[in-house]
Amino acid sequence: MEVHGECDPKFTRVKDAFKKLYQEDREIGSSFAVYKDGKPLVDLWGGFQDQDKTKAWEKETLVTVYSTTKGVAAFCIALAMEKGLIKYEEKVSTYWPEFAANGKGDISVGMLMSHQAGICSPETRNVEDYYDQNLMAEKLAGMTPIWEPGTASGYHSMTFGWLTSELILRVTGKSLGTFFREEIGNQHEIDFFIGLPESEDHRAGELIPFEIIPSENSEQQKVALTDAQKSQSNSAGTLGIHNTRAWRQAEIPSANGQGSAGGLAKLYSLVVPQDDSLKLLKDDTVNQMTTMQIEGRDLVLAVQVRWGVGFILNKHKVIYGPVESAFGHSGYGGSCAFGDPENKIGISYVMNRMLDNFNADGRSIELINATYNCL
């Protein structure tokens, strides 16, 4: 299989690791990138855009990155904070008064962004509702928290998107996708979209879901679920719709960003640049957004997590390399993107062959480890 793109000679082992994934038949199409100061050290792609392997993956290929989108949404909230429009410590209801209903009046922006609000279920199985920001915001404002806000995190896998989008809408008058495009994407030439324009739809690759195999112990597992986990059943599945035009054009900043590894790695590299003149955000902003908000066993994910203001913090030094200060987000199926403030680099992996995982895809870990072996 031919690997395309560019790779600094120093990172030959990364290219070898990328090739190996195809030799072992673990990929259909993918891209991997390492950027510094907005420029590529590694920007590789290969394979095919579709399951039938009829259309080659190209530099311009975009694909749904699921929750890797959350990091981009968190950058938007951080920029709004830097502009003085939002404060992390302020109550959400200051900007969105209706949100205070049913025991949510004391939830801060920082708590909301770190999955502590207790409203982690969309409470609808109609996927058409997902495409209506006003409807979902109204639903969320009327919800009662499943647990006491601020006492634990419970991953808001879908609701995070409508919550962050409503915050941006309330303080800027723009949707989050528009705010990102105008304030970050266009200005810094970041190839990423939340709400894919029809003019770019031809670039979208096919995301290939994994086969869901029911567990023999599924009934026993249901008994052991937390209330937060049980609430996830009251939501619409997206594995059957993520290749539709309706999905791609919608703005769901928790799940449906369309991007490439190159675009995401460039974005993160401009948040942690070596050249101070390239900084997308001020140092104080980056320090605030990567300050730990809560740590412990997540009520939905059922694993130990350390949350910043919308970012996964690299506490265990596994998924985002060996640097504890690294921060980013991973997406359902395998994609990820993160910044490393110590080495001043942004790294991203994007693929179309989904695996049943959230934050520990073996493919990305192998590529990331190969990268650090070259530093």
Tens-binned pLDDT, residue by residue, of the chain (375 aa): 899 999 999 999 999 999 999 999 999 999 999 999 999 999 999 999 999 999 999 999 999 999 999 999 999 999 999 999 999 999 999 999 999 999 999 999 999 999 999 999 999 999 999 999 999 999 999 999 999 999 999 999 999 999 999 999 999 999 999 999 999 999 999 999 999 999 999 999 999 998 766 555 555 455 579 999 999 888 888 888 999 999 999 999 999 999 999 999 999 999 999 999 999 999 999 999 999 999 999 999 999 999 999 999 998 898 999 999 999 999 999 999 999 999 999 999 999 999 987 667 999 999 999 999 999
d(CA 113, CA 160): 7
CATH number among 3.30.70.260, 3.40.710.10, 3.40.920.10, 3.40.50.300, domain 3-73+178-374: 3.40.710.10
Place of tokens 């809560």: 294
Q: What is the pLDDT of residue 186?
A: 98
Give the Cβ contact number of residue 44 at 10 Å: 25
Q: What is the pLDDT of residue 216?
A: 55
> Strands across the sheet with 258-259, in order?
63-64, 258-259, 192-193
Q: What is the pLDDT of residue 278?
A: 98
> Which residues on adjacent β-strands are paired with residue 296?
305
DSSP state, residue 181: I
**CB half-sphere exposure, 207, CA atoms < 13 A:** 31
Query: What is the reported pTM?
Result: 0.96
**Across the chain, where does the E strand assignment appear?**
3-7, 29-36, 39-47, 63-64, 192-193, 258-259, 294-297, 304-307, 312-313, 327-330, 336-340, 345-351
Residues in Cβ contact with 156 at an 8 Å cutoff, skipping those fewer than 6 apart: 115, 117, 119, 120, 163, 254
Judge whether 350 and 259 are in contact, CB under 8 Å.
yes
DSSP state, residue 372: H
Q: What is the pLDDT of residue 220?
A: 47
> Which residues on adjacent β-strands are paired with residue 306?
295
d(CA 367, CA 191): 22
Structure tokens at 336: 């990820």
d(CA 271, CA 343): 12
Q: What is the pLDDT of residue 311?
A: 98
Q: Which helix (H) or strand (E) holds 356?
A: none
